[in-house]
Amino acid sequence: MNLEFIYMVLLGLLSFSLKSKHMLSMLLNLELLLIILFLGLVNYLMNLNDLSFTMVFLAFSVCEGSLGLAILVDMIRSSGSDLVLLVNFLW
């Protein structure tokens, strides 16, 4: 495994943990982590000469992105802000 790939994953996780004030920045960091995972998956599957699973992974990541945006719009409509600390999900 490449050392650069490990650094990218660690920086993505660090960015996700430090930038957790706004929901939009959390969603962008999750998309960054998905792109890093996609690049690692493509790198691994190119050695096996089978890239068919990458389309399934991309489809699931698109669904994840659209669900995240729907949750973001619902949060902004209900609370008026995308601050994670102001929203109580347990009601």
Tell me, what's the pLDDT at 82? Answer: 81
Give the C-alpha separation, 56 to 8, whole Å: 23
- Predicted confidence (pLDDT) per residue in 48-80, tens digit: 888 888 999 999 999 999 999 998 898 888 888
- Reference 69, options 31, 36, 32; nearest CA is 31
Average pLDDT score over the chain: 86
Supply the CATH number for residue 14's domain: 1.10.287.3510
Give the C-alpha separation, 48 to 25, whole Å: 35
Give the C-alpha separation, 62 to 35, whole Å: 11
Tell me, what's the pLDDT at 1? Answer: 64
* The two structure tokens encoding residue 68: 């995240």
Tell me, what's the pLDDT at 18? Answer: 87
Residue 89 lies in a domain: no
Residue 88 lies in a domain: no
Residue 38 lies in a domain: yes
Give the C-alpha separation, 81 to 22, whole Å: 9
Quote the pTM value.
0.81
